Amino acid sequence: MKAKFNTKGFVNSLFFSLIGIVAVLILWTLGVNYTTVGLLLPTPMEVLERAIYTMSNPIGRTNTLLMHLAVSLRRVLVGFTLSALCGVILGIAMGRFKMVEAIFKPLFELVRPIPSVAWIPLAIVWFGIGETAKIYIIFMAGFVNITVNTYAGAKQVDENMLGVARMLGANELQAFFHVVIPSCVPYIFAGMQVGLSTCWMAVLAAEMVSSTEGIGWTITAGQENGDMTQIFVGIIAIAIVGLLLAVLMRWAERVLCSWRVRGK
């Protein structure tokens, strides 16, 4: 069950991924220092210095960099949790009950192709520029992915295994919780992985349109003040947090779906 950690392979892959990052940083620095690109870009060192500076000094009125990130993360977690709850319930219901599928599938197929940013104007009109509008936009972004995947999972449940459970004395409800739900879990996780990334993207889009705080707002504020360094700090912070969220989800999947992993 406990995978033996492959130290050599890990060091190797870390080394090669660092090569790529370091190469970009060097080219970036050279470009800024020796070409006209320098008029439009700060150097990586300037971005790093600013990032460290804004850890303890506010961007805008009161919030430091980490506080802006926390504001955005809180919005994402609320929106994502709601979308996961609704998506899993609707996905399983559509996959397992013909009636629910007949009613909700056409509606869902209509909502599905709408990009989450298209909800921004509507959300502002409906909910104002407060938290509710942003959470609604995040919700729509995650909800679609999670529902689609859960639905696919609920459709592929092996009917044989339901028969096996019944032969062993399980009633309908027990068969549902011991067969249907576990066989959907890997699909739900695939949906949640994509969902969490799209939620993170959506919150930034929402904050760039209407807000007074959040990591997305720091970018818009940087643009308005002509502060390229602040824009870069925002972009890189978004990238790093996005990456961390993805790693966190993959780790959760490995723990919860360990039964699918072959080998020692």
Binding stretches for other proteins (CB under 8 A): 1, 160-161, 163-171, 174, 178-179, 182-183, 185, 258-264
Q: Give 107 or 167: the residue with its C-beta nearer to other proteins.
A: 167
Q: CA nearest 91: which of 5, 189, 2? A: 189
Residue partners of 212: CB distance under 8 A and separation at least 6: 60
Residue number, 88 or 231, with CB nearest to other proteins: 88
Q: Is 49 exposed, middle or buried (0-12, 13-18, 19+ CB in 10 A)?
A: middle
Q: Is 70 exposed, middle or buried (0-12, 13-18, 19+ CB in 10 A)?
A: middle
Min. distance of Cβ 91 from other proteins in angstroms? 18
Alpha-carbon distance 76 to 139, whole Å?
Answer: 8
Q: Which amino acid is at 33?
A: N
Tokens 């912070």 sit on residue: 237
Nearer to other proteins, 21 or 173 (CB): 173
Least distance from other proteins to the Cβ atom of residue 84, Å: 20
Name the residue nearer to other proteins (CB basis): 191 or 216.
191
Contact (Cβ atoms closer than 8 angstroms) between residue 162 and residue 175:
yes
Angle (CA) 81-87-88 rounded to 5° is 95
Q: Which is nearer to other proteins, 7 or 171 (CB)?
A: 171
Cβ at position 169, least distance to other proteins in Å: 3
Minimum gap (Å) between residue 263 Cβ and other proteins? 7
Q: Minimal distance in Å, beta carbon 176 to other proteins?
A: 12
